[in-house]
Amino acid sequence: MNVAATTGDTEHEEHARVDAPDPAPRRRGGGRIALAVSVFGELLITAGLVLGLFVVYSLWWTNVVADRHADRQGDKVRDNWAQQDSGPGALDTKDGIGFLHVPAMKNGEVLVEKGTSSKVLNEGVAGYYTDPFKAVLPASGKAGNFTLAAHRDGHGAKFHNIDKLEEGDPIVFETKDDWYVYKVYAVLPETSKYNVEVLGQIPKESGKKKAGRYITLTTCTPVYTSRYRYVVWGELERVEKVDADRTPPKELS
């Protein structure tokens, strides 16, 4: 056996082991980076879950809550109507003044209440304007503009399908004593949310130049934003008296 060679090899290996750089610091640095990436990833997942839950709450659960409230309020209105033999039931603003029916929107009947604040509209109803121009209610029999607003997404989303309305489509408003049948004659797909002229008693932006009996539906656009306003105008075509069975007009049959 060549002891010298063996001994030399052993010493060389020992020196190699002693002189070799320690990789431990690189492992510790890599571990910190991996930990940071892992924590950041978990935060992103958590944020995604929170955002997802918020979307579910905004677009689904608020609809559920609002619809339940609107149904209860609607039942109160109809109960009040049933108990009144006569009187100003059609103008009663305590629980609501009537129901909007728009077949093209496929949203069922929509209770209409006084005001367009978030507090009112968040309850799954449509509200009539009191400012900057006061809506002229149909039952008053006066010329003017019956101006309404409702949410397009969340909180009942009663005007979600407003873009389905076209010229000639019916809009029917039901009160205790009458059915008011309007026909759509103009649509404005987008305008500034500060454009209050669309609510004027004579809605000149719709092409009208003289007083009449109009209805105006407004909501936010595009969907899921509140950047602009979508506007639909209708004009009263006729009024039908409510019979004992509350038979709806042919437009709702």
Where along the chain do its domains lie? 57-252
With residue 228 as reference, give the H or E element that holds it. Answer: strand 228-241
Give the active site residues: 151, 220
Q: What's the pLDDT tens digit per position in 189-217?
A: 999 999 999 999 999 999 999 999 999 99
Asked if residues 133 and 201 have their Cβ atoms less than 8 Å apart, the reply is yes
Residue 242: what pLDDT? 95
Q: What dihedral angle (degrees, nearest 10) is formed by the CA atoms of 249, 241, 106, 76? A: -140
CA angle 185, 189, 190 (to 5 degrees): 135
132 prior amide bond cis, ω within 30: yes
Determine the topology of domain 57-252 in CATH: Sortase; Chain: A; (2.40.260)
The structure's pTM equals 0.77
Q: In 3D, which of 172, 189, 185 has the Cα closest to residue 103?
A: 172
Residue 246 has pLDDT above 90, yes or no: yes
Distance separating alpha carbons of residues 148 and 128, to the nearest angstrom = 4
pLDDT at 185: 98
